[in-house]
Amino acid sequence: MHIPDGFLDMKTAVSAAVLSAGAISYSIKQTREILDDRQVPMMGVAAAFIFAAQMVNFPVAGGTSGHLIGGTLAAVTFGPWVAMLIMTSVLIIQSFVFQDGGISALGGNILLMAVIAPLVGYIVYSLLVGSGESRIRVLGSICVAGWISTVTTSLVAAVMLSISNVVPIQVAIPAMVGWHTLIGIGEGLITALVISYLTKVKPGMVRRYKVDSKESVGAQ
């Protein structure tokens, strides 16, 4: 889903960069209030895992590529604001070091994968899981949230490409959303599997999850 250089026109690239900068600035402010020293090493581990997962690309029509995003995984584990910073660091390294995603399109890529993906994933997960504490409900909610997050992000990407006159919207939406409907299933399942593992070895990392009725381990 990384957008290369030259795919966004000036107005779209600048608008996306401004929105991204505002969202990241707000996330930094929020993170300072909730982050503790114990979470920092785990943030690095999460960033490394997401970085590796994003290296597996699926070709998509129109010259773009699709891949696992990881926004829902980061958001459910650390909360949406910390997740934004994790995803942003991954995207910056990919853009400047590995040329995966254009530098001129960095604001757009951050808006898609570091802002929209974690926020949508976290909101959907929170709505679905509600006050439920059963393992099946938590993992099912995560799986659906990962899928919806991926599809929503691909839809916004298609709109951005069409606004930039790269490809007609009637072509962009079926191509991007069609592929990411399938990719989203993989993302949802992988996210649920990773969270399932974390709830066993370090359940306190996963928000709103309890091992049983006596032991509360939901991270705040």
Check: CB of residue 167 under 8 Å from CB of residue 62: yes
Could you tell me the domains of the chain?
10-205 (1.10.1760.20)
- Determine the pLDDT at residue 211: 33
pTM of the complete model beyond 0.95: no
- pLDDT, one tens digit per residue, over 183-192 is 888 889 989 9
Residue for token pair 């306190």: 204
Tokens of 26: 């707000």
- Determine the pLDDT at residue 124: 96
- Determine the pLDDT at residue 43: 84
Residue for token pair 């949406």: 80
3-state secondary structure of 103: coil
- pLDDT, one tens digit per residue, over 118-154 is 999 999 999 998 876 688 888 999 999 999 999 999 9
Residue for token pair 């942003």: 88
